[in-house]
């Protein structure tokens, strides 16, 4: 048997990369990402890396074969790849809906299915990166909220289905995390700087989270200290969902007048 292998999707930046760096302390890490330039960066950092579209069954089957041929096992599968579409539902096209749901939800189902035999053979684990949007309403983000809520629900379902095989499945719900995805969102808003500041002010810890804030919880759920944890969802949000108003700040709206 070779060393432990972890596969991290969307692993070349943000939460995925921070997680990969922690998991690399315990074995090999294979990063899957759709951005070839980021793949090159990951390889220079010493990770195995493959270019892949997580919505593609064919790409998942290629990754599964690569894992079998190169590593011979899969101990940890981190579904981190994701996308967002922040807009009113009436301004959200069918293509937008499909892109968000396929990237955020179907990828988890397809990927786990295609890696099933490897995970069972290793009695491994799956960690799904969801979002606090799975737990609260969010203005102008129905597709994203639906997708992340589904990820948490799928986590519970797969935990039950895989438990007899010795495979654990858990999820992590990050709060507003300062990643390239969030930076692109605020850059797209006319009042992006102000919207960012309003969101910061809604966090009891007084700042946005970082990828390095989230990664330890993902790594813990993948490690030996969590062997009795399955079907669980861990919230890492700096207290955001403990407050009354998550509100519309993410979408760029300001505070609402008091009733």
Catalytic residue numbers, as ranges:
144
Alpha carbon distances (Å) from 22 to 16, 26, 137 = 10, 8, 32
Whether 214 and 177 have beta carbons less than 8 Å apart is answered as: yes
Q: What does the DSSP 8-state code read for residue 135? A: T
Residues in the chain, total? 259
Burial class from Cβ neighbours inside 10 Å (0-12, 13-18, 19+) for residue 229 reads middle
Distance, CA of 197 to chain centre: 24
Here the tokens at position 134 are 């799975």
Whether 124 and 140 have beta carbons less than 8 Å apart is answered as: no
- Please report how the helices 107-114 and 142-162 are oriented relative to each other, as an axis angle in degrees rounded to 10: 30
User: Residue written as tokens 């270019």?
Assistant: 51
């Amino acid at each position: 048997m070779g060393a432990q292998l972890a596969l991290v999707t969307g692993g070349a930046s943000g939460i995925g990369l921070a997680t990969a760096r922690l998991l690399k302390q315990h074995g090999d890490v294979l990063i899957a990402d759709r951005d070839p330039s980021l793949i090159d960066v990951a390889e220079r950092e010493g990770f195995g890396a493959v270019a892949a579209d997580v919505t593609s069954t064919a790409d998942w089957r290629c990754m599964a074969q690569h894992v079998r041929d190169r590593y011979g096992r899969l101990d940890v599968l981190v579904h981190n790849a994701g996308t967002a579409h922040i807009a009113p539902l009436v301004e959200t096209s069918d293509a937008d809906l499909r892109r968000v749901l396929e990237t955020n939800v179907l990828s988890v189902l397809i990927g786990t299915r295609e890696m099933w035999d490897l995970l069972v053979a290793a009695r491994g684990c799956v960690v799904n990166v969801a979002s606090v949007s799975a737990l609260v309403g969010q203005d102008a983000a129905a597709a994203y909220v639906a997708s992340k809520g589904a990820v948490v629900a799928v986590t519970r379902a797969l935990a039950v289905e895989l438990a007899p095989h010795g495979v654990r499945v858990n999820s992590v719900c990050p709060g507003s995390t300062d990643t390239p995805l969030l930076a692109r969102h605020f850059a797209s808003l006319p009042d992006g700087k102000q919207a960012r500041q309003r969101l910061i002010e809604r966090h009891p810890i007084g700042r946005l989270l970082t990828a390095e804030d989230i990664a330890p919880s993902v790594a813990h759920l993948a490690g030996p200290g969590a062997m009795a944890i399955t079907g669980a969802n861990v919230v890492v949000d700096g207290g955001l969902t403990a407050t009354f108003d998550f509100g519309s700040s993410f979408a760029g709206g300001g505070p609402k007048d008091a009733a």
